[in-house]
Structure 1
């Protein structure tokens, strides 16, 4: 059976942070030396743009935060570049999602001497139920506003361990940020309360919304469980089409980083509408629709509410 973490051990490098407690004693905020960086703050690298933005909100400018992957990148199959390895040598801390999302991560950390923190630590995971990944934890835990509060706490703790003098700043910023995230969760719950029970279903291309669906009381269906080689097979399309017809689901969705042709087949088979594009694995560029994590949550919440209470695009 395929495994999100095939070949990867959670204890494969000595500088990993157990939970989020740093194992290195750092005498100053920045440990970078002999590099071309102009910034004398500590450098915190993240594996993808979503958690980079979350970290920036908690960091409150006390550290420099940068994402290894760029806006629009598909995180699952990413391959670190030589430039990534160079940047990694400058890092004072690396933040990863965990739960097997970054299947490439050990390739990176094997060559980088920096402590890491796993931001999904403490999350009550949801197992994948199909597609050959049965029993593996769904890695998209940040898509739940409730889970995001755990991410923020883990970021706060990791930054405080790196920079103890900034504890008060990180704590204050984290609490303010958590309030904003909670507002999105409340919006989803309120706006979806009037959707008929039979239509309370979130149908997507990738199974990236298990945690958000749990928060919002929605039934989740998807074409494939995780972005991989076998996406949008005839069997997947037939199974989802049957569910959409049987439950009179008005709108189906697809994510920004994948091809939506299989979901287009579902709408041709069922007459459902195609909802607005959802964002999961990556933020957009600064001038795009979801330049921040809060924008991503709000955009997806509004698209889902519109799709299940009105109609999406015409097929």
Structure 2
């Protein structure tokens, strides 16, 4: 073999290796918390390498980002977060990381529920949702989406400013979310929107695998639809007037709306909000007057208040619900599908 032929062969071999390496490179994606980590994995499959910030059983309300989080974001092609001001620490983290990649606000386009700092004695799922606000919210975020969400930090700032006065009279002494309840993943209908937003985000940064993302998303939505039917059948076993549930913080308004379950909580929509003595007294009074049989603890909350309420009433602790985080892989709720099934099963079994 001549030197020229050898050189050409080596160049071709080198190009072939480069192509193979490039073909096997996974898209670096950062997700804000474990539920989104699972959803991105379902859509992205083998094409994504996910760094999830708030781990299993972690509380995103009070999360303090670490230097390694900023490093992960700086090298990511896509950042996926819930939106609706759930991750109050994320705008600063993105700014400090000098992130220039693409962002997905997973909750863009859902039918939102107005947030309540305290749902004591209330029937949150019977409230009339402000559809004008839904429309405006969706429109604003569609606009964000068209512009890669580049100004979402400013939007969050304006949003906070506009609605600060909404919380002046509430019992919320810690971090408060904005006008809308951010715990929107507790609705399968909403998560189908999440999945489509994630599919679009992955397709934008990795168009070569668009067909795989589309197929994975479609398959996963079929699984969601199947589970939704099963969960409605399970809830239907409990008479409507017996579907009252007490949880530590108000994280289940979307589940309440979809499955016609009455959720009450001494704390507001953030685990940092503090329940007043009056809030707790109202919950205890309600349990006694309605004959509520079970209260529930959460995987991310300080459950001492619920334990106190249980001691002072005839309500038993009906189990642990997974609210703002999945369980560890060996736990009962390591994926979104398993979390939804486990939560409904736990509620139904306790209320039977």
TM-score by length of 2: 0.73
Structure-to-structure mapping, 1:106-117, within 5 angstroms: 106-112=91-97, 113=99, 114-117=101-104
Q: Specify which structure has the bigger relative contact order, considering alpha-carbon pairs within 8 angstroms and separated by 6 or more residues.
A: 2
2:32 pairs with 1:47: yes
Match of 1:255 in 2: 298
Partner of 1:23: none
1:306 matched to 2:349? The reply is yes
User: What's the counterpart of residue 150 of structure 2?
Assistant: none
Residue 59 of structure 1: CA displacement? 0.4
Distance 1:130 1:280 in 2: 16
Following TM superposition, by how much is the alpha carbon of 1:119 offset from its aligned partner in structure 2, in angstroms? 0.3
Counterpart residue number, 2:111: 124
* Pair 1:93 & 2:85 matched: no
Residues 212 and 128 of structure 1, relative CA distance in 2, 3 Å threshold: same
- The residue aligned with 1:313 is none
8 Å contact kept, 2:177–2:270: no
Q: Contact between 2:247 and 2:295, CA under 8 Å: does it hold in 1?
A: yes
Out of 49, 57, 60, the position equivalent to 2:45 is: 60
TM-score, length-scaled by structure 1:
0.82
Structure 2 partner of 1:26: none
Match of 2:241 among 175, 186, 198: 198
Name which of 186, 189, 194 aligns with 1:146: 189
Q: What per-residue deviation string (whole Å, max 9, x for no partner) do you get for residues 115-161 of structure 1?
A: 21100000111112344269721100001111111111111111111
Mind listing any 5+ residue stretches in structure 2 that lack a counterpart?
1-23, 119-169, 171-175
> Could you tell me which residue of structure 2 aligns to residue 22 of structure 1?
none
**One of 229, 232, 246 as aligned partner of 1:189:** 232
Query: 1:241 matched to which residue of 2?
Result: 284
2:87 to 98, 102, 109: 102
Task: Point out the structure with max Rg over C-alpha.
Answer: 2
Distance 1:291 1:194 in 2: 26
What value does the CA root-mean-square deviation take over the aligned residues?
A: 1.7
Q: CA deviation at 1:269?
A: 2.3
Shift of 1:235: 1.9
- Contact 2:117–2:268 (8 Å) recurs in 1: yes
Q: Distance in 1 between matches of 2:253 and 2:72?
A: 33
Q: CA deviation at 1:284?
A: 2.0
Deviations 1:246-268 (A, max 9, x none): 22222111210111111112222
Aligned residues of 1:198 and 1:247 also touching (Cα < 8 A): no
> Judging changes above 3 Å, is the alpha-carbon distance between structure 1 residues 75 and 135 closer, same or farther for their aligned structure 2 residues?
closer
Distance in 1 (CA, whole Å) between partners of 2:56 and 2:344 is: 20
After TM superposition, give the deviation of residue 233 of structure 1 in Å. 3.3
Q: Which residue of 2 aligns with 1:214?
A: 257
User: What SS does the aligned partner of 2:349 have?
Assistant: helix
Query: Which structure carries more helix by proportion?
Result: 2
Residues 237, 265 of structure 1: 8 Å contact kept: no
| Structure 1 residue 70: Cα displacement | 1.7
What are the superposed Cα offsets for residues 204-228 of structure 1, whole Å, 9 maximum, x if unpaired? 1111100011110112211111234
**C-alpha distance in 1, partners of 2:310/2:226?**
32
Distance verdict in 2 for CA 1:102–1:139, change over 3 Å: same
- Counterpart among 252, 273, 277 of residue 320 in structure 2: 277
What is the total number of aligned residue pairs between the two structures? 271
- After TM superposition, the runs of 4+ consecutive aligned structure 1 residues lying more than 4 A away are none
- Could you say if the C-alpha distance between residues 301 and 228 of structure 1 is closer, same or farther in structure 2, counting changes exceeding 3 Å? closer
Unaligned 5+ residue runs, structure 1?
1-38, 310-315
Q: How many Å apart are 1:232 and its aligned residue?
A: 4.0
Please tell me whether the aligned partners of residues 70 and 96 of structure 2 are also in contact (alpha carbons under 8 angstroms).
yes
